Amino acid sequence: MDTIAIIGAGPSGIMAALTTKTKDNRVILIEKNKVIGQKLSITGSGRCNITNLDNKEDFFAKIPENSKFFYSAFAKFSNYDFIDYLENIGIPLKYEGQKAYPKNESAQKTVNTFIKLLEEKNVEIRLNEELIDFEIDNKSNTVTSITTTKTKEHIDKLIITTGGLSYCKNSTFSLLAKKGIQITQLYPSLVSIETIYDYSNLSGISIKNVSVRANIDGKKYLTSGDMLFTQKGLSGPAIMDMSSYIVKFQDLKTDTSSNHKNLTYKGKNLYISIDFMPYISKNQLEDIIFDSSKKALKTKLSAYLPERMLKFLLEKYENTDINNMKKEEKEKLLNIFKNYKIAIKNFSNIKSAIVTKGGVSLNQISPSTMQFKNIQNLYFAGECLDIDALTGGYNLQIAFSTGYLAGSSSKL
Ligand SMILES: Cc1cc2nc3c(=O)[nH]c(=O)nc-3n(C[C@H](O)[C@H](O)[C@H](O)COP(=O)(O)OP(=O)(O)OC[C@H]3O[C@@H](n4cnc5c(N)ncnc54)[C@H](O)[C@@H]3O)c2cc1C
C-alpha cells in the first residue's frame, strides 16, 4: 500500500485528496490548523464566491500573469465541470451576475460537505499537525519521507497545497526555499490601497460601478466595479482588482521598510485615476453640468454620486460661476469626475490580502500534471503557486482545478 501525503487542507488540498485514488493507497491530509478549510469558510464574506459563469476567454482575462500555465488544469476541470461537480455532491448554486455562490450562501456548510466527502473516502485527516521538513533522495529524485510536528514517516507521493501568506501566521515558503525550490517575490494582492492624501473624512462612502485606470511604463490597466473610501484610503472590488495589476510596480526597498515612507516606482509616486461615472461620456457630463438651468452644481449631479462625495469634490467650486468658465477650467471640472487622480502611499499588508501574488516558480512545475519537474513524486497546487487572479471566484477555481490535477494525475 502506498502513502500519499497532502499538506494543507484548503480548497486545493481538499480537492487533491478527493481526486487521489484511495484504492490500494493510504491518503493522509495534514493541516496545521485545528479545522479543515479555515480560509474557505470565510470566503465571499462567509457566502463563498466559489466560481463563476465566465467563458474560457473571459476567465483567462482575469488572470493578470502566467495564465497559460493554467490551460491544462482548466481543460481537465473547468468552472463548468466544477459547477456540475458541486451540484452532484449536494451543493446547488445561485448566481449573481457571473458570480456563483452556494444556494445556502454558507461557506462553512460548503466546507462541511467537503469534510463529509473526505471521510466517506477514508482520507486520514490529521489536524493540528504541521509539515516542518521533508527528505529528498538525490539519487532517485524522489521525496522519501516527511517530518511533521508530530512524527516522521515514509511517503510515496507528496502534494503540497499550503497556500500563501495572506490570512496566515507563518508560511511554508521558507521550508520550500531551503529545499531548493525557487520562490518568486511575494506581494499582497486583492488588497486595499493606502493613499497619500487623507480621505478619512470620506470613510464609509461607497460608490457603485466606477472605472479605475493606471498607466505604468506605457501599459494601461483598467478595472471596474464598486469602490469604498476607508480610514486609510480606498477599497472595494474595483480597487482590489487594480492592486493585482499594479502591486508589483514598487520599489522593494521602500516596500520592506518599516517606516511610513510613500511607496515609489522608479523614484516616482504611483497613481490611479478614477472615472466616477463611466456609464456616461464626458460630453454627456458636460451637457448635464453646463445646461441652461440655474440649479446648483451639486443638485445637477445628485443622481450620480452621494451627497457627501459631491460636497468634497466640488468644495472649491462653491462660489464659482460655472457659466463663465474658460475651456481649460471646464475640462478641469469634468476631470474631477472622469479622471480623478489619486497617489498611492502603500498597499495594505500581505496578511490582510485576499491572495498572495508570487509563490513556487512555475517553470519548475509541469502544467499538465502539477508535478515538480525535478522530483518525480512531488506535486504542488493552489495559492502556493505563482498564479493568482482578480476577485469573482477565480482564485477558488484555480485552487480547485490545480488540486484536481495534482490529485488525479499521479500514477499512484
Ligand atoms: C477573506 C478572504 C475572502 C476570500 N474570498 C474568496 C472568494 O469569495 N472567492 C475566491 O475565489 N477566492 C476567495 N479568497 C481566496 C481563496 O480563499 C484562496 O484563493 C484559496 O483559499 C486558496 O486555496 P489553497 O488551498 O491553495 O490555500 P489555503 O486555503 O490557504 O489553504 C492552505 C492550507 O495549508 C495549511 N498549511 C500551510 N502550511 C502548512 C504546513 N506546513 N503544514 C500543514 N498545513 C499547512 C494552512 O493552514 C491552510 O489551511 C478569499 C480569501 C480571503 C482571505
Q: How many domains does the chain have?
A: 2
d(CA 185, CA 207): 33
| Residues 235 and 152 occupy one common structural domain | no
The domain boundary, picked from 348, 372, 393, lies at 348
Distance between Cα 251 and ligand 1 center (Å): 27
| Residues 181 and 39 occupy one common structural domain | yes
Residue 256 has pLDDT above 60, yes or no: no
| Residues 237 and 295 occupy one common structural domain | yes
Residue 259 has pLDDT above 70, yes or no: no
Residue 54 has pLDDT above 70, yes or no: yes
| Residues 249 and 305 occupy one common structural domain | yes
Distance between Cα 154 and ligand 1 center (Å): 27
**Confidence tier at 317 by pLDDT (50, 70, 90):** confident
Lowest mean pLDDT among 88-92, 169-173, 233-237, 344-348: 169-173
| Residues 75 and 25 occupy one common structural domain | yes
What's the confidence (pLDDT) of residue 98?
96
Computed over every residue of the chain, the mean pLDDT equals 95
Residue 218 has pLDDT above 60, yes or no: yes
What's the confidence (pLDDT) of residue 168?
81
**Interval 20-35: pLDDT, tens:** 988 889 999 999 999 9
The domain boundary, picked from 348, 375, 391, lies at 348
Distance between Cα 163 and ligand 1 center (Å): 5
Q: Nearest residue CA, atom 4 of ligand 1?
A: 43
| Residues 162 and 200 occupy one common structural domain | no
Question: What CATH number did the domain enclosing 88 receive?
Answer: 3.50.50.60
Residue 257 has pLDDT above 80, yes or no: no
Q: Which three cell numbers stand for residue 205?
A: 462612502
| Residues 183 and 160 occupy one common structural domain | yes
| Residues 161 and 269 occupy one common structural domain | no
Rounded to an integer, the average pLDDT of 253-277 is 81
Long-range contacts from 136-141, C-beta under 8 angstroms, 24+ separation? 136/179, 136/375, 140/376, 141/374, 141/375, 141/376
What's the confidence (pLDDT) of residue 314?
94
| Residues 367 and 334 occupy one common structural domain | no
Which of 161, 162, 243, 402 gets mutated to test ligand 1 (max ligand atoms within 8 A of its CB)? Answer: 162
Distance between Cα 87 and ligand 1 center (Å): 22
| Residues 307 and 370 occupy one common structural domain | no
What's the confidence (pLDDT) of residue 160?
98
Distance between Cα 363 and ligand 1 center (Å): 22
Q: Which residues line ligand 1 (CB under 6 A)?
A: 7-13, 30-33, 38-40, 42-44, 48-49, 130-131, 161-163, 166-167, 172, 354-355, 382-383, 393-396, 399
| Residues 275 and 339 occupy one common structural domain | yes
| Residues 94 and 10 occupy one common structural domain | yes
Residue 138 has pLDDT above 60, yes or no: yes
Q: What percent of the chain has pLDDT over 70?
A: 97
For residues 194 and 346, the answer to whether their CB atoms sit within 8 Å is yes
What's the confidence (pLDDT) of residue 167?
85
The parent domain of residue 222 ranges over 192-348
**Confidence tier at 275 by pLDDT (50, 70, 90):** very high
The domain boundary, picked from 321, 348, 375, lies at 348
Residue 164 CA: which ligand 1 atom is closest?
A: 30
What's the confidence (pLDDT) of residue 171?
81
